[in-house]
Amino acid sequence: MTLIQAIVIAILQGATELFPVSSLGHAVIVPALLHWSLDPNGDIFLPFLVMLHLGTAVALLVFFWKDWSAIVQGLGGRDGSQRQAESIHIIVLLVVATIPAAIIGGLLEHWLRALFGTARFAAIFLVLNGILLLLTERIKSRERAHPDRAIASLTYADAAVIGLWQCLAFLPGISRSGATIIGGLLRNLNHEGAARFSFLMAQPVILAATVREAFHLRHVDIPPGEMQIAAIGAVIAAITALASTAFLMRYFHTHEQWALRPFGYYCLGIGAVAYVLLGH
């Protein structure tokens, strides 16, 4: 991997991991379109992938530090029993929302990515991702009369449903953040609340993926200079992810009426164009 390739992929990871446009889909499609001989599932790519995920996780932790601090402080009971119960409830919601991906991912992730891991399949699922975003926005626009809920008002059944939506992201081209935001919107969170819950969910998921990938590094012979490139990629991914999160949280706060539409149209266009180009 060259330094330029590392920088491009790090920027893609840092942005598309949070934007509802599928980081995995872009990681498959972009190298194929540029005719880069990179295998995202190969051993040579593994240390780079570990560092990219680590950078993204650190960025999310930094941005949502106040949220996590408030939850931990609430768990200690210093702010009263009601706040303590709310903090415990939010932690359990996040755990419940993570369980479906842990189970289905453990059973089917490798099979799904082996079956649908080609660039043309990623382009197809990117189009599907766009359709889902646009359909959800249309459904949400018809339910404006329903009051929006706070994250703490979600039930464990709501969290499980959002977690099931997250499992769609095992298909390259379906966005993890997009799927969980869709799940949150369909449980009557507003766009900002759905995005916040999605990004809080992302942190244990990304950290778990980082630990799992790092564990596999024990059996990988890392070429000279690869870790330096991976470290540069991690820094770039972290900076990009931090900027992306800041932008998205403000964007979802100020564009409640149609926030997902631009991303839906983007996925439709990029997916269709990529499918055509990759067919030649």
d(CA 222, CA 228): 11
Angle at 202 between CA 196 and CA 207, to 5 degrees: 145
Q: Domain spans of the chain?
A: 3-278
Return the DSSP state at 167: G
| Nearest-angstrom CA–CA distance, 106 and 111 | 10
Query: Tens digit of pLDDT for each residue in 108-150?
Result: 877 777 776 688 888 999 999 999 999 999 998 887 656 678 9
pLDDT at 44: 62
CA 272 to chain centre: 22
Secondary structure of residue 96 in the 3-state scheme: helix
- Residues in CB range of 56: below 8 A, 6 or more apart: 13, 14, 17, 206, 237, 238, 241
**For the chain, which residues score pLDDT lower than 50?**
none
Entry pTM: 0.91
- pLDDT at position 280, please? 65
Q: Mind listing the pLDDT tens digit for each residue in 4-19?
A: 988 999 999 899 989 9
DSSP count for the chain of H helices, then E strands:
11, 0
Ramachandran area for residue 35 (φ above 0: left; ψ -120 to 50: alpha; else beta)? left
